[in-house]
Amino acid sequence: MPLLKKRPVCPVHGDALILSHHGRKSNIGSPLLEVRGAPILYCPACHEQRQDTSVEVEPAASNAFLRKLQRLIENSEFPSPLQRPKISVDFNPARAKPEGFDMPAGAIYDLSQPASGASAAPSLPEPESDLSLQTLRPREPRQNLDQLVLDSDTLARIHEAVNVLVSQELLFDTWNLASVARTGRRVALNFYGPPGTGKTLAADAIADLLGRKILVISYAELESKYVGETPKNIKAAFARAAEQNALLFFDEADSILGKRLTSINQSADNGINVARSTTLIELDNFDGAVIFASNLVRNYDTAFLRRMLAHVAFKLPAAEQRQAIWQCHLPEQLPLAADVDLAELARFSDGAAGGDIQNAVLLAASYASMRKGEQQVVARRDLERAIRFILDGKRRILESDD
Ligand SMILES: Nc1ncnc2c1ncn2[C@@H]1O[C@H](COP(=O)(O)OP(=O)(O)OP(=O)(O)O)[C@@H](O)[C@H]1O
Ligand SMILES: [Mg+2]
């Protein structure tokens, strides 16, 4: 069965791309899995000019397969860690190399490896980037949707947007929306709102719902730490997320979502423009899920607007949500005094974000821990004192900003 319904052509030469089963696939990072080649499409003319424009055929499918396999090994019990099997996956069918396809020496990848030879095909070069691999390692989601307290409208918007990912097969394959979707299967969302309102929590919860890892990248960090290297790092982030089918989460994305600057006075401004353009290009080539989180952005670049499936506003919680947030931040084991009334606490904490409530619980518990014996319980005055302290501090900072 052909892998693609329509054979794509090279955008530079117009030649039909050739399917080769001698491509390469980088390992997905599990020490227990060894991965060899994968089918790729390449342009013979680019190839002659030693340009590596090859693309892997259906990387999502092979990545999904590898992830399943990895989960299976991780969740299986073995008598001892040493008896865990090492599994080798060879995506290259055992057949001869395509006729007339000899890779020139020094080419970027070596397709002349024997299909099922003893030596493992070297993996794809890591995307060149200044970010350490540690930073670019997707992690398991830390929270789930049950822990996210939002008003019903915001929750519904999140569910609707995420459903595009959950129902991909029905939408894109069975109903063939793949033929008309301008943005491919990519789903880009923008979460915006004040600090501590649950944007990161929501991203984690969505990754959890999708059964994917999450790759968290801070734009602000990219820009300040790696001056001049930002575009390279942005590319590396997209590549890593695609390779591992992770949900890509760009935190602190305010500057990147703003309008591109038309008069460039300083090189820093130019850097921002280049980073924005790189992000747009990478977004267009990305097939996965990406979430941008920002504090209030008023001046969106329309190029980003068009590419987002949804913008979700995270607001400060109303009293009803504050009560639920207090509730879910008080673990069963935390000793509470009888005078703690969550409805009252919710009224008392007007203006608090979920993050403030989280901090207040910790602070209140710390006050209680300094007492002895029967007094060592969290009382209403501890919680009120803690949240007042946090909100006063915030107010003072905001006033000094003005
Ligand atoms: N809507 C919410 N429901 C439940 N808990 C919340 C909510 N908002 C915040 N919290 C609590 O506060 C913590 C911090 O929130 P989170 O990091 O998601 O905020 P954020 O919007 O990403 O903030 P920032 O803009 O500063 O990155 C969460 O881990 C959670 O404990
Ligand atoms: Mg956050």
Collect all residues with Cβ–Cβ distance below 8 Å to 180 and sequence separation of at least 6.
Answer: none
Distance, CA of 99 to CA of 342 (rounded, Å): 74
CA of 190 to the centre of ligand 2 (A): 12
Is ligand 1 within 6 A of the CB of residue 354? yes
Q: What is the pLDDT of residue 347?
A: 97
More confident residue, 236 or 298: 236
Higher pLDDT, 132 or 278: 278
141 lines ligand 1 (CB under 6 A): no
Question: What's the token pair of residue 9?
Answer: 């052509």
Pocket lining: 258 vs ligand 1, CB cutoff 6 Å: no
Q: 321 C-alpha vs ligand 1 centroid, how far in Å?
A: 13
Calculate the average pLDDT of the chain: 80
What's residue 214's pLDDT? 97
Architecture in CATH for domain 319-401: Orthogonal Bundle (1.10)
* Domain over 145-313 is classified CATH 3.30.2420.10: no
* Residue 401: pLDDT band with limits 50, 70, 90: low
Q: Find the mean pLDDT for residues 239-259.
A: 88
Statement: residue 386 has pLDDT above 70: yes
27/392: higher pLDDT:
392
Does residue 323 have its Cβ closer than 6 Å to ligand 1?
Answer: no
Strands 33-35 and 55-56 turn out to be: unpaired
The pLDDT score that the predictor gives to residue 402 is 58
Residues 6+ apart with CB under 8 A from 75: none
- The model's pLDDT over 209-241, given as tens digits with 9 standing for 90+, comes to 999 999 999 887 777 766 667 888 888 899 999
- Angle value at C-alpha 305, between 354 and 232, nearest 5 degrees: 85
- The per-residue pLDDT for range 135-168, each reduced to its tens digit, is 688 999 999 999 999 999 999 999 998 998 889 8
Res 52: pLDDT: 62
Measured from the Cα of 143, ligand 1's closest atom is 29
Structure tokens at 197: 């309102």
Question: Cβ(24)–Cβ(109) under 8 Å?
Answer: yes
| pLDDT number for residue 135 | 67
Burial class (CB in 10 A: 0-12, 13-18, 19+), 77: exposed
Q: What is the pLDDT of residue 381?
A: 97
Q: Give pLDDT, residue 107.
A: 31
- Does position 179 have pLDDT exceeding 50, yes or no? yes
**The whole model's pTM is what?**
0.69
Q: For residues 140 and 86, give the distance between their C-alpha atoms in angstroms, rounded to a whole number.
A: 22
Q: Is 98 in the pocket of ligand 1 (CB under 6 A)?
A: no
- Mean pLDDT value of segment 277-306: 86
Per-residue pLDDT for 18 more than 90? Answer: no
Concatenating the DSSP letter of every residue in 222-259 gives HHHHSTTTHHHHHHHHHHHHHHHTPEEEEES-HHHHBP
pLDDT in tens, 333-365: 999 999 999 999 999 999 999 999 999 999 999
Percent of the chain residues past pLDDT 90, beyond the cut: 41
pLDDT band per the 50, 70, 90 thresholds, residue 121? very low
Task: Spell out the domain ranges in the chain.
Answer: 1-110, 145-313, 319-401
**Local confidence band at 53 (pLDDT 50, 70, 90 cut-offs):** low
Rama region for 211: left / alpha / beta (φ>0; ψ in -120 to 50; rest): left
CA 129/CA 217 separation, integer angstroms: 13
Q: pLDDT digit string (tens) for 60-116?
A: 777 777 777 877 877 777 777 667 777 777 776 544 344 444 433 323 333 333 333
